[in-house]
């Protein structure tokens, strides 16, 4: 088992590409490291729906997970594995800041690395984004990549 664990939040944005570069460099410096690459599909469990709506929602969630793996996570995992890194991937639904912190705590990670601005760009600038929420509430150090 690896000595150091790092949780990495990815979303397919340009910032995510820079995160991959930073993580790769940092992992090479550290040496014995396991990377847990995560893609979080934002959604709120606080909506009330009928049984039929829940069935459709479940199907949509499964489709979103498959798309996230295919479009974002699998290419990132391949890139890191090709660079010789020990990496695993996770796709989750929920609040990205909460999910990334929970994974870090559960896995005993020493840090979380994310991009400053993700795919939501303007919305994050107006309403606050994952990076701000994560910095405010994280249980482990957070590295923000510009």
29-51 pLDDT, tens digit each: 999 999 999 999 887 655 566 66
The residue segments making up the domain with residue 129 are 4-145
| Residue 31, both tokens | 């040496």
**What is the mean predicted confidence (pLDDT) over 63-86?**
94
Output DSSP code: residue 31. Answer: -
Residue the block writes with tokens 């979303």: 11
Check which CATH number belongs to the domain holding 40 and give it.
3.40.50.620
Tell me: pLDDT of 1 over 70: no
Q: Which of 103, 128, 101 is nearest to 116 (CA)?
A: 128
Instruction: State percent of the chain over pLDDT 70.
Output: 84
How far is residue 29 from each of residues 26, 43, 56, 72, measured CA to CA in Å? 5, 36, 46, 25
**Total count of domains within the chain:** 1
Would you place residue 126 in the very low, low, confident or very high pLDDT band (cuts 50, 70, 90)?
very low
Over residues 107-121, the pLDDT tens digits come to 999 999 999 865 554
| Residue 73, both tokens | 């996570």
């Amino acid at each position: 088992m690896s000595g150091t664990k790092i949780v990495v939040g990815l979303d397919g944005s340009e910032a995510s590409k820079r995160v991959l570069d930073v993580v790769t460099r940092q992992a090479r410096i550290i040496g014995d490291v396991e990377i847990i690459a995560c893609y979080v599909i934002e959604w709120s469990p606080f909506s009330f729906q009928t049984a039929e709506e829940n069935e459709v929602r479940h199907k949509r969630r499964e489709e979103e997970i498959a798309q996230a793996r295919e479009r974002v996570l699998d290419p990132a995992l391949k890139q890191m594995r090709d660079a010789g890194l020990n990496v695993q991937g996770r796709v989750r639904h929920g609040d990205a800041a909460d999910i990334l912190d929970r994974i870090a705590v559960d896995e005993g990670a020493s840090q979380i690395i994310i991009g400053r601005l993700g795919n939501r760009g303007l919305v994050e600038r107006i309403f606050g984004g994952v990076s701000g929420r994560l910095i405010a509430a994280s249980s482990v150090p957070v590295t923000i990549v510009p």
